[in-house]
Each structure stands twice: as structure tokens, then as C-alpha cells.
């Protein structure tokens, strides 16, 4: 899931599993100035092989809000297995 620069996105009761990115944000990438909200989600076994944030990469985003969200088994090649 990609939140473009300045965009807003919300995930509610969503499962993101076994996603992969060659760079950052295996499941979710929140670009600069974007707003991303995840509520009651499950992000598991996602990978960012060449970057950071196996589950979620928030690159200078304005707001990243997460509640009741599970991050399990995610991995990244550089840093931040989950975030």
C-alpha cells in the first residue's frame, strides 16, 4: 500500500501478509508529507529486502498513527524489521 506525497490513507481491519519490496516498506510505504492510519490491522511476514521497514516505512511522513495493530515476523535488509 502506497501513500503518495501529501496523500492520506487509512487501513481498517486489514491483513497484509507475505508482501515484499525491493527497497523500503514491504507492506506499507508512507511518503513525505503523507498521513497514514492503521487501526485493527495485522501486518505479518512482509519484507523490505534492500531497505528499511519490513512492514511499514514512514519516510518523513506528517502523521503515522497505529492502534490495535499487530506487527509480527517482518524483516528488512537495512533496519527496522517492522517499522
Kindly state the average pLDDT of the residues 43-62.
Answer: 95
pLDDT confidence of 10, banded at 50, 70, 90?
very high
Kindly state the average pLDDT of the residues 35-56.
Answer: 97
Supply φ then ψ for residue 77, to 5 degrees.
Answer: -75, -25
Kindly state the average pLDDT of the residues 56-61.
Answer: 94
Per-residue DSSP letter, 61: -
Residues whose CB falls within 8 Å of the CB of residue 78, separated by 6 or more in sequence, listed in order: 48, 50, 51, 52
pLDDT confidence of 32, banded at 50, 70, 90?
very high
Supply φ then ψ for residue 45, to 5 degrees.
Answer: 55, 40
- Locate 57 and state its grid cell: 516505512
pLDDT, position 48: 97
pLDDT, position 13: 98
Q: What is the pTM of this model?
A: 0.94
Amino acid at each position: 500500500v502506497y501513500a503518495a506525497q501529501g496523500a492520506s490513507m487509512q487501513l481498517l481491519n486489514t491483513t497484509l501478509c507475505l508482501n515484499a519490496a525491493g527497497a523500503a516498506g514491504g507492506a506499507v510505504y508512507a511518503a513525505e508529507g503523507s498521513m497514514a492510519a492503521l487501526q485493527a490491522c495485522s501486518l505479518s511476514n512482509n519484507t523490505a529486502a534492500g531497505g528499511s521497514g519490513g512492514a511499514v516505512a514512514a519516510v518523513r511522513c506528517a502523521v503515522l498513527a497505529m492502534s490495535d495493530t499487530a506487527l509480527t515476523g517482518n524483516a528488512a535488509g537495512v533496519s527496522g524489521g517492522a517499522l
